[in-house]
Amino acid sequence: MDLLVTDAVIVTQDAERTILDRGAIAIRGDRIADIGPTARLEAAHPDLPRMAGRGKAVLPGFVNAHTHTILTVLRATVEDWSGNAVYGYMSPVSYTMTPHERAVMGMLGIVEGIRSGTTTFVDPFRHVPDYADAMASLRVRLVLSENCADVNTLKIRHGDWSQDPAFGEGFLERTRAGIARFHNTHEGRLQIQIAAHATDNCTPEYLEKLTDLARQHNMPRTIHLAQSVEEIRVIREKYDCTPAEYLARHGWAEPDVVGAHWTYLTERDIALLGERGMQMVHCPANGSRRGPHPVLAKSIRRAGINICFGTDNMTEDMFHAMKIGLIVHRGAEGTQGTEPQPEDIFDSCNRNGARSIGRQDDIGSLEIGKKADLTFLNLNTPALRPVTNLIGNIVHYGHPGTVESVMVDGEFVLRDGKVLVTDELALLEEAQAVTKAVWARMLANNPDLPPPRKLNWMDV
């Protein structure tokens, strides 16, 4: 699309974090052609169709650096259950679903994310070939991966952490298929990366196989790290070390690796990972459902580690992540105060997220030559007025209802509040029916799984 947006507040997120009042941004095709004062750009680009931006803020589209969109199927259930949801429900439900059901719930998550201002989704899960095309049809930027493991995650809830080579090979086959079929497709918006599920379900030799794949295809890597007390215990019993030390021993504490959560890392672990240059994706909202996430966020920041934000599961709301993230990081390690500032949190949702997937030259900020991935906020909403410190307004008080339009690769996927890439109402209705069917089938197939809470289905 060729377009000139005029008289807007342009939040560039460039190296100087420049914010232009009454600024303009010129888009030609899928790239940003120019940014600057409205009068100069109107004179320089007289041929471009114009869009009035008065009362709007234009931001880099959010980068959700860690999510599992298909787990929208568990929304408002396991959040209020006290057990290990990862192995107790998330793994069983992912194997219960049909390819079509996975695609429907993944699309639901993407649409919610679009309405929350997100243009890039990093989504490690299972059975990527089942849903990659469907999710990519919504024209967002995707980084998908198989959550590879060679310990059968369906058996872990029964206390079995033994190696299962056949189980592991299934993931490798789907990863190879995903690379061959999907990497750099859909006009380059769909990328594949390499993912190890977690330290407690990936053996050393399996991690080596995944590293070989990453090196062969020049892909970044990701893994869940220290996300449960069970993981800490199993790694100690098997390898006499912490999960961070385990990764360092086997070449996974490196700059191309993004570790999710870091919930139970020690100060020593953090120092080790900081020295190795590993990156962190924090999901503070999801991690705080049972109380404020106990991550040592201040120590991680002091170690100079790149911190990006994600939503993890059952939500795609990056505003939610920013609000709770600010609280968690300020209150980390039993402290209170005003550090980090909103600007630091905001960086975690764009610049830092782009860096985590090696895309900082293309996305994460609004600069000439970069991709036209934009989020438009309506500043004429009570939650964002009065505008005093715009980034503070967004981080403290922004919400999905303030998102007016979203553009990816120079094309609107949401405009003036309307989703343009799918029939949203039909998708919502299908997702409701899919979720009800999946729950009934999962509980029937796994009689040891009690409903985590009463399921109160509504005929909506």
Question: Is the model's pLDDT at 81 over the cut of 80?
Answer: yes
Structure tokens at 100: 């079509």
Q: Rounded CA gap, 141 and 421, in Å?
A: 13
Third-level CATH fold of 62-356: TIM Barrel (3.20.20)
Of the candidate ranges 274-278, 295-299, 352-356, 450-454, the one whose mean pLDDT is the lowest: 450-454
How far apart CA 15 and CA 18 sit, in angstroms, is 8
Contact 342, 330 (CB under 8 A): no
Residues 6+ apart with CB under 8 A from 269: 226, 242, 243, 244, 245
Higher pLDDT, 60 or 84: 60
Domain ranges of the chain: 3-60+373-418, 62-356
Q: Which two tokens stand for residue 336?
A: 């209170």
| Per-residue confidence band for 455, with pLDDT thresholds at 50, 70 and 90 | confident
pLDDT exceeds 80 at position 209 = yes
- Euclidean distance between CA atoms 180 and 147, whole angstroms: 17
Residue 146: pLDDT band (50, 70, 90) is very high
Quick one: CA torsion of 375, 377, 383, 386, rounded to 10 degrees? 120
8 A C-beta contact, residue 261 and residue 227:
yes
pLDDT tens sequence across 319-347: 999 999 999 999 999 999 999 999 999 99
295: helix, strand or coil: coil
CATH number of 3-60+373-418: 2.30.40.10
Element holding 27 (H helix, E strand): strand 19-28
Helix 204-217 with 165-182: angle, nearest 10 deg? 10
How many Å from the N-terminal Cα to the C-terminal Cα in the chain? 37
User: What confidence score (pLDDT) does residue 457 get?
Assistant: 83
Write the pLDDT tens digit of every residue in 401-425: 999 999 999 999 999 999 999 999 9
Average pLDDT for 107-123: 98
Percent of the chain with pLDDT over 90: 95
Task: Assess whether pLDDT exceeds 80 at residue 427.
Answer: yes
Question: What's the whole-number mean pLDDT along residues 139-148?
Answer: 98
For residue 132, the surrounding DSSP H or E stretch is helix 132-136
Residue 82 confidence class, pLDDT cut points 50, 70, 90:
confident
Q: Among residues 204, 225, 215, which one has the least CA distance to residue 124?
A: 225
